[in-house]
A and B are shown apart, each in its own frame.
Chain A
Amino acid sequence: MAARALAGILWSPNLKEAVNGKAFNLSTLGVISSSQQYRQYSTDKVYEIRTYSLYPKDMKEFMAISEEKLHIRLKASKLIGFWTSEIGGMNQAFHIWEYDSLKHRAQVRASLASKPEWLSQYINRVISMWWKQDNLLTRAIAGPDGDLNQDKSNIYFLQRYNHNKSSMLTLTTELQSLQAGTNIKLVGGWSSILGPKDNAYLMWQCKDPDDFLVWQEKLSDKVKTVPEHSQLLFPCPWSPLM
């Protein structure tokens, strides 16, 4: 009750102006946990989405070295998930990292850059395997409605939309209502703030990839907004989302 009352006060237009022009909410004030903004993802953190394109001949060794040594990286900051692309992109690794802020990200990267075992046991061994790396910074726009499957053997579908954040929020709500009754779960949604404008990603988890194909085809009849690009992703063994 107190939280709701405080929420009412804090979201009032007057207070928004008063507090130095910054849009505060209860999570940034630490009154409620950030995980209540969206399940698992908070609206005040930043999410870096990285895509690496590898030389085909190096994929196998990259996966082996990563399985052995990427733990050095994983202990430095929070990984949401790490996948390889199966359809809609090949020899690609796709990964999402959470940071409290860009300053936090800079600190993490500075400490990794000065860690000899990170450089010698991982980076120097894999750096010639990448022919391209891309990244963008995003905000979370959706989180899983319910619990995601924690056992291995899930399949993921990544949809990329060319829409701004407010269109995406509307779309995501529609899509979430249409996933009810299926085994398809929304894992999360992210919308770009640095990198290409109006780029949003929705990530879906399912067990049966053919169910997803059927669902995606039916949706575009109802929803009218089609992703610019969609991919089938497989989680890597070290991915928290598996």
Chain B
Amino acid sequence: MCRHTAMMAARALAGILRSSSLKVHVDPLVIYGKTSTLRTLGVISSSRQYATDKVYEIRTYSLYPKDVKEFMAISEEKLHLRLRASKIIGYWTSEIGGMNQVFHIWEYDSLKHRAQVRAALASDPDWLSQYISRVISMWCKQDNLLTKAIAGPDGDLDQDKGNLYFLQRYNSNSSSMSNLTSELQSLQSGTNIKLAGGWSSILGPKDTAYLLWQCKDPDDFLVWQENSSEKVKVVPEHSQLLIPCPWSPLK
């Protein structure tokens, strides 16, 4: 059906699904125990990108400074072996607020799905010989946490290269974060700053939430961050400027 009709149908369905009377009948417990949204039902386009019933693993690797250049070269050449195994949201290097660090977000349907992916990779000789064994001594530290998505991009993100990203880490629980995120999203309108996503920890450190922002002009973000922290009163514990790697879907 044409896009307009699809949008109308999606809105109508959204209205029905969100109506309070239907909520009683369509109790989440009834629908296979999953809190479904239109995204997971595949009714609306994936521009919102993140599903509330999936898990998102956030990995941070610290590299030895002398190995960063070679790590980037080997990754550009061989990381495709990993990318075909499961869905990557994005992969960045940290420019300010962390150095010699890579930051990456991976989506899995569930922890069982994640285990299957990793088992398959562990028995993939190409993955081990062409990538892992070549880079493994370059990492001085690896960290990971598991999160749920708490926000997705409002509109369409820039798909061309040359975007910069700012990562804000908050020490807040998911209900505080959802209030904060709505406030911040309303403050971003009229700027060229876009919310790329938000994730809140479920394994790893408690009450750790990340908001990732996309922009073209990093100085605009600095000004926006300074202005919004005056209005919003909640300041990120840590913020970083990230640069997307060539193989990152978010560019």
Contact = CB atoms under 8 A, between A and B. Distances in A.
A196 B241 CA distance: 12
Interface of A: 21-22, 46, 48, 101-103, 106, 127-128, 130-137, 164, 193-198
The interface residues of chain B, by DSSP majority, are classed as mixed
Given A135-B97, A194-B97, A103 B66 contact: no
A137 B222 CA distance: 10
B218 interface: yes
B66 A127 contact: yes
Which of the listed residues B65, B98, B223, B236 has the most CB atoms from chain A within 10 Å of its own CB? B65
B143 interface: no
B191 to A, nearest CB: 9
A15 B210 CA distance: 35
B238 A195 contact: yes
Contacts, number: 66
Interface string B213-232: 00001110011011100000
B96 A194 contact: yes
A101 B223 CA distance: 11
Contacts of B217: 103
Contacts of A22: 223
B239 interface: yes
Contacts of B66: 127-128, 130
B236 to A, nearest CB: 6
B235 A21 contact: no
Contacts of B100: 132-133
Contacts of A195: 96-98, 238-240
Contacts of A196: 97, 237-238
Given A128-B66, A132-B65, 6 more contacts: A128-B65, A134-B98, A194-B239, A196-B97, A197-B235, A198-B235
Interface string B59-72: 00000111000000
A102 B216 CA distance: 12
A194 B65 contact: no
Given A101-B219, A103-B218, A137 B96 contact: yes
A164 B236 CA distance: 12
B83 interface: no
Interface in B107-163: 140
A184 B100 CA distance: 37
B238 A197 contact: yes
B26 interface: no
B99 to A, nearest CB: 4
20 contacts: A101-B219, A103-B218, A128-B65, A130-B66, A133-B65, A134-B98, A134-B99, A135-B96, A135-B97, A135-B99, A137-B97, A193-B239, A194-B97, A195-B96, A195-B97, A195-B98, A195-B239, A196-B237, A197-B235, A197-B236
